[in-house]
C-alpha cells in the first residue's frame, strides 16, 4: 500500500499551494544547494561590514589612545550582535523576504500559503537560526530540511514559512517551423483542431526540444501520438514530426491576435 | 524500466535542483535501504581501513590510498541501489547485491579504465585531470546500468557528457566538494563532541595534524550514498534531456487517455 502511495506521488522539488478559490500554484522550493550559496554570500557581506567597523574602531583607538580600547571592543561586540541577530530580519523585512544573498540566487522567503513574509514570521524564523545551527554548521537544520517535502528548517516550520525560487521566465519565443508550412499542407488540416490544451502543450514541448533529441528519437516520439491525432482528424500521416509541427502552426495561427 | 513508475518527477532540472533532489532522496525514500547497505558494505570497509591503520600500523597515506581504491566499488553498489529505488517496485539489499555481483566483472574493467585515466591525469601534472574526470563522470552508470564493459562503457560515458561539458565539470566539482564536505563535517562534529565537550582529547587522531582520523575516514565513506545519488540523478537529467523522457511520459498519458475514451465509447 505504502509502495503504491509512493508511486502515485513522485518526489519533486516543487511545492503546491492551493488558494481558497481552489486555484493551484506550483513553486520551485529552494533546497540546501542554493541556500548554502546564499548563506555564504550573506556571511561574506556580514564579514565585510564587521571588518569595516573593526577598521573604524582601530582608527578611533589610534587617535584617542589606550583609554578607549575597552570601548572599541565593546563597540565591535555590539556590531557583531546586531549583525548576527538583526541582519537577516532587517533585509527580509525591507526586501520582502530577501537578503542580498537570497536576491543573488533568486530566492524569496514566503509563508507556506504563498503570502508575503510578515515581520513577526521573519523574526521568528531567524531567532531559531541558532537552533538550526546546532551542534555546528547548521547540522540540525540540514537534517530537518532533508526530511521535509518543502525543504523547511526548524525556523521555517515554526514561523510557517518556506524559501522559494523565483525563476526569471522570459516570454517564450515563437516556434519557427522549418521548412515553413505550405498553404497546401495547412489546407489539409481542419480549421478548428480537436486537440485539448494539454495535447497542444505536449506538442509544443516536443517541438521546442526536438533539436536536442536526434532524428531517430524525434521520429519515435512523434510516432507515439501523430497517428492518433491523424485518425481523430481524418487526415493522412506521412511524416509524424511534420504533422505535429503543422498542428502547432495551425493552433498558433488561431491564437494570433487579429 | 517503466518511466511512468519513476519515483521522481522526470523533467529537465538545473544542477542545484539535482543536488537538492539527491539530498531529499537520501533522507526520505532511500534512507532505509541506504542505512542497511551502509551497515553491510561501508562499515566493514571502514573497519578494514582502520585495521590497516591500527593493527598493521600503516601510515595514513596508505590508509587513504586503500580508501580511494575501494570507494569506486561502494559507489557502484549505491548507483545500483538508487536506480532500483527510482525505477523498480521491490527493493531489497539482497537484490541490489545480486545486480552488483552480476556486473562485477564489467565493473573491474571500468575500474582499470578509471585508474588509467587517473594515471594520465597525474602524469600530465594534473593538467588533463579535469578533462579525464569529466569523461569518467558517468562511467558507473554506463557500466552498471546500461550493461556496457571496459572501453565501450568509457565511450558511452564520454558521449553522455559531450553535449554538456560545462555542467559535467560543475557536477564534478560539486561531488568533490561533497566528499570533502563529508570529511570536514565528520571531523569537526566528532572533535566537537569528543575533544571539546567530553574532554577526552583526540584518541583517534586529528585530520588537520596527522593527515587522517577515524572521523575523517568515516565522513569520506558516508558521503558515498549522496555522491552516488547526485551523480545518478545527473545521469537521469541527461537522459531526460537527450531522450525526451518527460515528452514520452506526456505522450504516453495522451495515448492512455485516448484508449480509455475509445473503450468508454465502445
The reply to whether A174 falls in a domain is no
CB contact under 8 A, A6 and B9: no
The DSSP secondary-structure symbol of A165 reads E
Average pLDDT over residues B184-188: 90
Q: Is the pTM of this model over 0.90?
A: no
Q: Domain span at residue B44?
A: 15-265
Helix (H), strand (E), coil (C) string for B80-133: HHHHHHHHCCCCCHHHHHHHHHHCHHHHHHHHHHHHHHHHHHHHCCCCCHHHHH
Q: Domain span at residue A90?
A: 28-165
The reply to whether A50 falls in a domain is yes
The reply to whether B162 falls in a domain is yes
Element (H, E) at A82: helix A69-94
* Nearest-CB residue to A151 (from B20, B241, B244): B20
**A197 and A152 assigned to the same domain:** no
Nearest-CA distance B158 → chain A (Å): 17
Is any Cβ of chain A less than 8 angstroms from the Cβ of B9?
Answer: yes
Pick from A132, A165, A198: which residue ends a domain?
A165
CA atoms of B24 and A14, how far apart (whole Å): 12
φ, ψ (nearest 5 deg) of residue A164: -110, 160
**A244 and A157 assigned to the same domain:** no
CA atoms of A5 and B28, how far apart (whole Å): 14
Average pLDDT over residues B43-63: 94
**A203 and A149 assigned to the same domain:** no
Nearest-CA distance B111 → chain A (Å): 30
Pick from A133, A165, A197: which residue ends a domain?
A165
CA atoms of A88 and A129, how far apart (whole Å): 10
**A87 and A143 assigned to the same domain:** yes
CA atoms of A65 and B32, how far apart (whole Å): 63
Q: Which chain A residues contact residue B163 at CB under 8 A? A: 212
pLDDT tens by residue, B55-97: 999 999 999 999 999 999 999 999 999 999 988 767 888 999 9
Q: Which chain A residues contact residue B9 at CB under 8 A? A: 10-12, 14
CA atoms of B222 and B35, how far apart (whole Å): 10
Q: Is the pLDDT assigned to residue B13 strictly greater than 60? A: yes
Mean pLDDT is lowest, of A59-68, A219-228, B144-153, B239-248, for A59-68
φ, ψ (nearest 5 deg) of residue A142: -65, -40
CB contact under 8 A, A12 and B189: no
**A195 and A149 assigned to the same domain:** no
CB contact under 8 A, B255 and A214: no
**A107 and A200 assigned to the same domain:** no
**A194 and A147 assigned to the same domain:** no
* Nearest-CB residue to A221 (from B23, B192, B247): B247
The reply to whether A178 falls in a domain is no
State how many domains chain B has. 1
Mean pLDDT of chain A: 85
**A93 and A212 assigned to the same domain:** no
The reply to whether A20 falls in a domain is no
CA atoms of A97 and A103, how far apart (whole Å): 9
Percentage of chain B modeled with pLDDT above 90: 60
Query: Which residue from B163, B20, B240 is spatially nearest to A36, judged by alpha carbons?
Result: B20
* Nearest-CB residue to A147 (from B27, B89, B243): B27
**A207 and A99 assigned to the same domain:** no
Q: Is the pLDDT assigned to residue B146 strictly greater than 70? A: yes
Chain pair A-B, CB pairs under 8 angstroms: 114
State how many domains chain A has. 2
Q: Is the pLDDT assigned to residue B48 strictly greater than 50? A: yes
pLDDT at residue A5, rounded to an integer? 47
Is any Cβ of chain B less than 8 angstroms from the Cβ of A143?
Answer: yes
pLDDT at residue A254, rounded to an integer? 65
φ, ψ (nearest 5 deg) of residue B102: -60, -35
A44 or B129: whose pLDDT is higher? A44
CB-count burial class (<10 Å; 0-12, 13-18, 19+) for B200: exposed
The reply to whether A126 falls in a domain is yes
The reply to whether A7 falls in a domain is no
The reply to whether B251 falls in a domain is yes
The reply to whether A235 falls in a domain is yes
The reply to whether A4 falls in a domain is no
The reply to whether B109 falls in a domain is yes
The reply to whether B213 falls in a domain is yes
Q: Is the pLDDT assigned to residue B21 strictly greater than 50? A: yes
**A145 and A211 assigned to the same domain:** no
The residues, any chain, with a CB within 8 Å of residue B169's CB and separated by 6 or more, are B130, B133, B134
CA atoms of A164 and A150, how far apart (whole Å): 9
Contact between A14 and A26 under an 8 Å Cβ cutoff? The reply is: yes
Q: Which chain B residues contact residue A39 at CB under 8 A? A: none
**A41 and A134 assigned to the same domain:** yes
Contact between A243 and A230 under an 8 Å Cβ cutoff? The reply is: yes
pLDDT at residue B125, rounded to an integer? 81
CA distances from A33 to A105, A166, B175 (A): 11, 15, 12
Cis before residue A135, ω within 30 degrees of 0?
yes
Q: Which three cell numbers stand for residue B177?
A: 566538494
**A129 and A222 assigned to the same domain:** no
Amino acid at each position: 500500500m505504502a509502495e503504491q502511495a509512493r508511486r502515485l506521488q513522485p518526489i519533486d522539488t516543487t511545492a503546491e499551494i492551493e488558494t481558497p478559490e481552489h486555484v493551484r500554484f506550483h513553486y520551485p522550493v529552494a533546497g540546501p544547494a542554493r541556500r548554502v550559496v546564499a548563506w555564504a554570500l550573506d556571511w561574506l557581506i556580514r564579514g565585510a561590514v564587521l571588518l569595516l567597523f573593526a577598521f573604524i574602531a582601530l582608527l578611533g583607538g589610534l587617535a584617542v589612545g589606550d583609554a578607549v580600547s575597552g570601548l572599541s571592543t565593546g563597540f565591535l561586540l555590539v556590531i557583531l550582535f546586531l549583525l548576527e541577530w538583526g541582519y537577516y530580519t532587517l533585509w527580509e523585512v525591507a526586501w520582502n523576504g530577501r537578503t542580498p544573498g537570497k536576491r543573488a540566487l533568486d530566492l524569496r522567503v514566503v509563508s507556506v500559503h504563498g503570502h508575503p513574509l510578515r515581520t513577526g514570521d521573519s523574526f521568528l524564523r531567524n531567532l531559531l537560526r541558532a537552533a538550526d545551527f546546532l551542534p555546528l554548521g547548521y547540522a540540525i537544520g540540514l537534517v530537518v530540511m532533508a526530511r521535509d517535502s518543502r525543504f523547511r528548517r526548524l525556523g521555517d516550520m515554526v514561523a510557517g514559512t518556506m524559501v522559494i525560487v523565483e525563476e526569471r521566465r522570459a516570454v517564450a519565443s515563437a516556434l519557427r517551423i522549418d521548412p515553413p508550412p505550405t498553404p497546401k499542407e495547412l489546407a489539409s488540416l481542419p480549421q478548428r483542431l480537436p486537440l485539448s490544451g494539454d495535447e497542444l502543450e505536449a506538442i509544443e514541448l516536443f517541438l521546442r526540444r526536438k533539436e536536442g533529441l536526434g532524428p531517430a528519437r524525434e521520429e519515435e516520439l512523434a510516432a507515439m501520438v501523430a497517428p492518433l491525432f491523424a485518425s481523430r482528424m481524418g487526415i493522412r500521416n506521412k511524416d509524424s514530426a511534420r504533422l505535429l509541427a503543422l498542428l502547432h502552426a495551425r493552433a498558433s495561427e488561431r491564437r494570433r491576435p487579429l | 524500466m517503466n518511466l511512468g513508475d519513476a519515483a521522481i518527477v522526470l523533467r529537465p532540472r538545473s544542477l542545484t535542483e539535482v543536488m537538492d533532489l539527491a539530498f531529499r532522496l537520501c533522507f526520505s525514500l532511500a534512507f532505509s535501504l541506504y542505512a542497511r547497505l551502509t551497515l553491510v558494505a561501508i562499515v566493514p570497509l571502514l573497519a578494514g581501513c582502520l585495521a590497516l591503520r591500527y593493527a598493521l600500523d600503516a601510515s595514513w597515506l596508505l590508509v587513504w590510498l586503500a580508501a580511494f581504491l575501494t570507494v569506486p566499488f561502494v559507489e557502484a553498489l549505491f548507483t545500483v541501489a538508487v536506480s532500483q529505488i527510482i525505477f523498480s517496485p521491490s527493493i531489497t539489499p539482497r537484490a541490489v547485491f545480486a545486480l552488483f555481483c552480476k556486473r562485477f566483472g564489467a565493473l573491474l574493467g571500468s575500474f582499470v579504465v578509471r585508474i588509467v585515466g587517473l594515471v594520465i591525469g597525474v602524469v600530465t601534472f594534473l593538467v588533463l585531470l579535469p578533462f579525464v574526470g569529466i569523461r569518467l563522470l558517468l562511467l558507473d552508470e554506463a557500466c552498471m546500468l546500461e550493461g556496457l564493459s571496459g572501453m565501450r562503457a568509457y565511450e558511452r560515458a564520454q558521449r553522455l557528457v559531450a553535449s554538456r561539458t560545462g555542467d559535467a565539470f560543475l557536477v564534478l566539482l560539486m561531488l568533490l566538494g561533497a566528499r570533502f564536505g563529508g570529511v570536514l563535517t565528520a571531523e569537526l562534529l566528532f572533535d566537537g563532541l569528543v575533544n571539546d565537550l567530553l574532554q577526552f582529547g583526540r584518541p583517534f587522531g586529528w585530520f588537520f595534524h596527522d593527515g587522517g582520523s577515524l572521523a575523517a575516514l568515516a565522513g569520506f565513506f558516508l558521503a558515498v550514498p549522496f555522491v552516488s545519488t547526485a551523480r545518478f540523478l545527473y545521469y537521469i537529467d541527461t537522459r531526460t534531456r537527450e531522450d525526451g523522457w518527460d515528452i514520452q511520459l506526456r505522450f504516453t498519458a495522451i495515448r492512455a487517455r485516448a484508449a480509455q475514451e475509445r473503450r468508454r465509447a465502445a
